[in-house]
Amino acid sequence: DRELVSDVWKTTICSEITQTISIITPAITFLTPFLVDLECGYSGWTSQYIKL
């Protein structure tokens, strides 16, 4: 019984992690230009966005 429970637990955790990654990845892709602009001293379209 314990092995079965641990298998179910592992499967659940893995699917949760996969879902989280699939949600986070597009967000990171979207935010990368913001982060790059911040690193480069508020240049480009990010600074315009921040001023608003």
- What's residue 34's pLDDT? 75
For 1-26, the pLDDT digits (tens) are 677 888 888 889 889 998 998 988 88
How far is Cα 32 from Cα 26, in angstroms, rounded to an integer?
Answer: 10
Tokens of 47: 């600074």
Asked if residue 45 lies in contact with residue 37, where contact means CB atoms within 8 angstroms, the answer is yes
Token pair in block for residue 20: 């989280």
Q: How far apart are the first and last CA of the chain?
A: 58
Residue 51: per-residue pLDDT:
56
Give the three-class secondary structure for 32.
helix
User: Could you tell me the residue ranges of all domains in the chain?
Assistant: 2-51
